[in-house]
Every structure is written in structure tokens, then in C-alpha cells.
Amino acid sequence: MKGRVALVTGGTGAIGSEICRQLAGGGARVAALGHPSEAARIPEWKAGFRDGDIAVELCDLGDFAAAGAAIAGIEGALGPVDILVNCAGITRDARFTKMTLQQWREVMSSNLDSVFNASKPVFEGMCARGFGRIVNISSVNGQRGQFGQANYSAAKAGMHGFTMALAQEGAARGVTVNTVSPGYIDTALARQIRPDVLDKLVAGIPAGRMGTPADIARAVAFLCADEAGYVTGANLAVNGGLYMS
């Protein structure tokens, strides 16, 4: 991984930040893509890294042209992207009978369109150079579904369909494409769940705890390694045994 250029979409979030940290710690030159709404906190975010400077670009990844321009800027500064981690995503939860078209489209744009929009500018170059790693961060709820998350579960399931198809196109050219599907991860977002509800969720996890961003980042780092070239089209579940398939 040393010297490789890595791009992490959603890289300024809790899980994305830890992925950036571990890839940088492994010697990669890392750039994070965040959302323009995060501009005010980016200086503080960058100051939290001690394993090397992390480049940051802000754009709406649901916008194909904006994503392409941001990635072109990163490649102009760091060089061609060797490693892409698609970690951007949002939730807009509601019972399906109450879910609006806007809630559906916002989740599809941020969680699924973004995967196409970020992968399209880098995949051909990876194939031409004979090396590439793409890792898509899905969810346990993309595997099993979840009440109130028809939009999110559909988008996350779609990510792995994309993984399997693109993996077949890249395999002979040295480009692997894999999915990591986290379970419940201990982040500020998870801590917003009502305590009694959260306790029930954790009680249903065989490992007896929520995961950490580091648990996810370690799985991503493994799949991004030069030595992981024979692993492609896989869905690596990191969920403490919550869902086994």
C-alpha cells in the first residue's frame, strides 16, 4: 500500500475518518471527499491526523459532474487514484407508507449514485495501469433489510450488486472490487438511538457489543493491500455475528 493514492468518499465521517487514518498509517497518500456542508469543521478535522496529511475535497457526490471535478483535482495534486473506498452515505428513515419520494431519492443519490459517480472517473485508469482496489461500504441492513429503511436497505443492497458486476470487469486487469458490510457501529449517530432501544440492539449481537470504526477500517485496509489481489466480488460482513450468511 505504501505510496498508493487512496481516495475515501465520506472520508470526514466517523468510519471514513478511521479508514483514512489506517490507510495513511499503511503508507498510502490519502484524500477524503466530504460534503460542502462540512466546510466549517474541516480544519479541526485535519488537525486530528498525526499519521500524515490528509487532502480534502468537498463536493456533492450525488452530482456526477461535481464528483468528477473533485476527483480530477485530487488526481492533479496526488496522482492517479489506486484505491477507492466508497463510504459516503446518509439515512432518511421512515415507514414505507410515510416515506416521501424526496427521502427515497436523497438516499439513493448519496448512497448509490455516489458509488457510480466516484468509481467511473477512476476505474478505467486502474485497469490501464494493472492495479486497483475499490471497496464499497454497505451495511448489514443491505443483507437482511430493516424496518423503516426501504430506501437505505435497497441502496446498500444495490452497492453489492454493483460490486459483483464491476469485479468481473476488473479481475483480469488487476482491479479488485469488494464490499464491506458493517453491523451496528459505535458512533455519535448510533448513540442518538434511545438507550433502551440501543440496549436491545446490542443484546441481539452475538459478540455482545457494537463494532468500532477501527473494526471496519481494518477490514478495508486488508482488502486494499497489494497482497489481496485474489479477493474480489466478496462481501465481508463485519457485524459481530448479527447476521450470518
Residues that are catalytic: 152
Q: Could you tell me which of 160, 4, 42 has the C-alpha nearest to residue 17?
A: 42
Burial class of residue 231 (count of CB atoms within 10 Å of its CB; 0-12, 13-18, 19+): middle
Local structure of residue 230 (DSSP, 8 states): T
| CB neighbour list of residue 227: distance below 8 Å, 6 or more residues apart | none
SS3 33: strand
Nearest Cα to Cα of residue 158 among 174, 175, 176, 143: 143
Contacts of 155 (CB under 8 A, 6+ apart): 89, 107, 108, 111, 112, 142
